[in-house]
Amino acid sequence: MKNNNKLTGVKEIARLADVSIATVDRVLHNRPGVSAKTKSKIEAIIKQLNYSPNILASRLASGKIFHLAVLIPKSSDRTDFWDAPLKGIERAAEEISRYGVRVAYYFFDLNNEDSFVSSADSILKEKKLDGVLMAPSFVSKSIRFVQRCKEKKIPFVFIDSNVEEAESLSYIGPPLFESGFLGARLCVLGMHRSDKVLFVTISREGSSYNYSRIEAGFKFFFFENDLHHEMIKLDIEDTERNSVFSNLEKAFSKYPDIEAIFVTNSRVFSVAQFLELKNYSKIHLVGYDFSQENQKYLKKGMINFLICHKPEEQGYKGLMSLYHHLALKLKVDQTYYMPIDIVTRENQDFYR
């Protein structure tokens, strides 16, 4: 049993340091073949875990069970984006299940605020609850929910979008301002004939805090580069196809010389469908996320650029952050920004 506990600790150190077990073993036995930077990182983790005997062995011996809840949108026929974070969450849940962590899943409909409230209420009714990983898609309802969590002293982690005033244990997701800034840069690459760019948000939440941060970054690119482009803002709160098409039709009727479109979320494929139907092949289209529908229109050339923030890793790291905080008493990053990737027709087959 003693050897098993030791091996468990080595595995955990290797996972936290993102190195092999053999590398950890070299450091533990002071053998050569490890860079100074990697060695320093491993030694810091060993110190944090109080390894020798390690904290994981003590945890396993205690038999304590941690109960975590996951509250995220379910995928729909309008967007499959949330399949990726769920995959990351499930991967993390499988890894830490051996350490006495149980994960319960609660889903809600992005087009139905009541479904969020219902799932959130179900979580709060749980007798055993140690932490929550969630996407605060409905801001006001999310604030109300996390206030209840605070009253119960239940830590919570946000993924994909943030609500700063809620003061979560950690936010893991995109740097929204910088992401919007990049979006403007990518739009300008396709603007040669006019100065009009359509800035589209397709969400029942409308211009929430997160979309406003993207918008601020988008506008700042033009300001910083002294570009006098006309940004036409279009908020579409009814995400049904007919509503999206109708709103876009009105925008093009009023501004027929629109040359570029920036969509602030994963529903960029809805705009691509409209452009394809209208045979607007020269419109430069930029949006977010490597969803299946978006990939299809990227390959067709209807979408020019997709900005991606590794959603699977957001889910994985989000659940791991709760685990590290609760079970290992490790300090977690209050804000952990994901990298900003640009996916094109040319590199999409190689993007993971």
In whole numbers, what is the pLDDT of the chain averaged over residues?
88
Query: What pLDDT was estimated at residue 198?
Result: 97
Given 1.40.20.10, 3.40.50.410, 3.40.50.2300, 3.40.50.2020, which CATH number is that of 64-173+311-338? 3.40.50.2300
- Residues 162-192: pLDDT tens digits? 988 899 999 999 999 999 999 999 999 999 8
Query: What pLDDT was estimated at residue 12?
Result: 79
- Residues 69-100: pLDDT tens digits? 999 999 876 668 899 999 999 999 998 888 88
- Residues 25-73: pLDDT tens digits? 788 777 788 999 998 898 888 877 665 545 555 555 556 889 999 999 9
Higher pLDDT, 16 or 186: 186
Query: What pLDDT was estimated at residue 4?
Result: 42
If phi > 0 it is left, if psi is from -120 to 50 it is alpha, else beta; for residue 100 that is: left
Q: Is the pLDDT of residue 346 over 50?
A: yes
Query: What pLDDT was estimated at residue 343?
Result: 96
Lookup: tokens for 283:
């419109």
- Residues 118-159: pLDDT tens digits? 999 999 999 899 999 999 988 889 999 999 999 999 999 999
pTM: 0.79
d(CA 106, CA 115): 10
Mean pLDDT of the region 2-18: 67
Query: What pLDDT was estimated at residue 211?
Result: 87
- Residues 229-241: pLDDT tens digits? 999 999 998 888 9
Within the chain, which residue ranges are assigned CATH 3.40.50.2300? 64-173+311-338, 176-308
Fold type of domain 2-60: 434 Repressor (Amino-terminal Domain) (1.10.260)
Fold type of domain 176-308: Rossmann fold (3.40.50)
